[in-house]
Amino acid sequence: MTVLHEPVDGAVRAFFAAIGRTARLVGAALAGFPAVLTRRDCRHTFARQLFIVGIGTLAVATVVALFTGMILSLQLGIAFRQLSLEGMVSTTMSYAMLREMGPFMTGIILAACVGSAMAAQLGTMTVNDEIAALEMMSVDPVRFLVVPRLWAMTLMAPILSFYTCILAFLGGALVGYTQLNIPFLQFIQGVLDAAEMKDLYVGLLKAAVFGILVSGISCSVGFATTQGAAGVGASTRRAVIYSFLAILIGGYFITRCFYVL
């Protein structure tokens, strides 16, 4: 399948070829959504991927979100206290978490926890010629392996993003109550007052896009794995790095699309 294997010489050409291969893979996976609903094997894989993406990262997401919120609240509190504007901590946290930090943290967690595993798994299957075996059995590897993973991460990423935002608000409110003398409910009310529908749903959209990017890059890098076990390790590392870069660059352009100075 040309989507999976496309030998290219030269770093620049390889880079652009990887981008193009990933884009085609993502397009094919997005188009294969009906298979998730109609094919039993896809549904099973999809459900398993939902569990891996959602429940498997829940503990990490909880700790990261809680402490990120606490750190953010503490630092903002220290800064705003000099201006006697402690009440702005909740407002600033609402903007920061819903617009950027929530989706960004979710993307990072998914890339580190799930994307790396995807790249390693698909890379191992590739070097072991399992992908080739699937193709020989007329099983489309994209539909069988990529579609459930991509759609599971795409659908679960916004949910995880909102979950991290809520936990970050709770962590921030906890620090606000204990360190900044801001009543807990007042902090939450400040978050709700500052929250805007656009921020919330653009953030969720951003998280979904990050899910597509992380799963697409991880699957693409996994399929492009060569040179045995060492290649699997390198692919895992590359998948994480490329995912981080894609999250940062994609995040800017999404923000640029929805927020104009």
Catalog residues that contact other proteins under the rule CB under 8 A: 47-48, 50-51, 54-55, 58, 156, 159-160, 162-163, 166, 192-193, 195-197, 200, 204
Min CB(138)–other proteins separation in Å: 28
Least distance CB 227 / other proteins (angstroms): 34
The dihedral sign for the CA sequence 149, 151, 157, 163: negative
Q: Please tell me the distance from the alpha carbon of residue 45 to that of residue 98, in angstroms, as a whole number.
A: 30
Sequence-separated (6 or more) residues with CB below 8 Å from residue 77: 86, 89, 175, 176, 179, 180
The two tokens of residue 101 are 């930090």
For other proteins, the closer of residues 56 and 233 by Cβ is 56
Cα 15 to Cα 114, 176, 234, 252: the distances in Å are 23, 46, 16, 21
Phi first, then psi, for residue 5 (nearest 5°) are: -125, 120
* Nearer CB in complex with other proteins: 104/244: 104
Question: Chain centroid to CA 110: how far?
Answer: 5
Could you tell me the smallest distance in angstroms from the CB atom of residue 160 to other proteins?
Answer: 8
Q: Which is nearer to other proteins, 63 or 245 (CB)?
A: 63
Give the nearer residue to other proteins in terms of CB position, either 54 or 176.
54
CA dist 253 and 70 (Å) reads 28
> For residues 185 and 230, which CB has a smaller minimum distance to other proteins in the complex?
185
- For residue 259, count other CB atoms closer than 10 A to its CB: 11
**Rounded least distance, CB 222 to other proteins, Å:** 22
In whole angstroms, how close is the CB of 49 to other proteins at the nearest point?
10
Q: How far is the CB of 205 from other proteins (least distance, A)?
A: 13
Tell me whether residue 55 or residue 249 sits nearer to other proteins (CB atom): 55
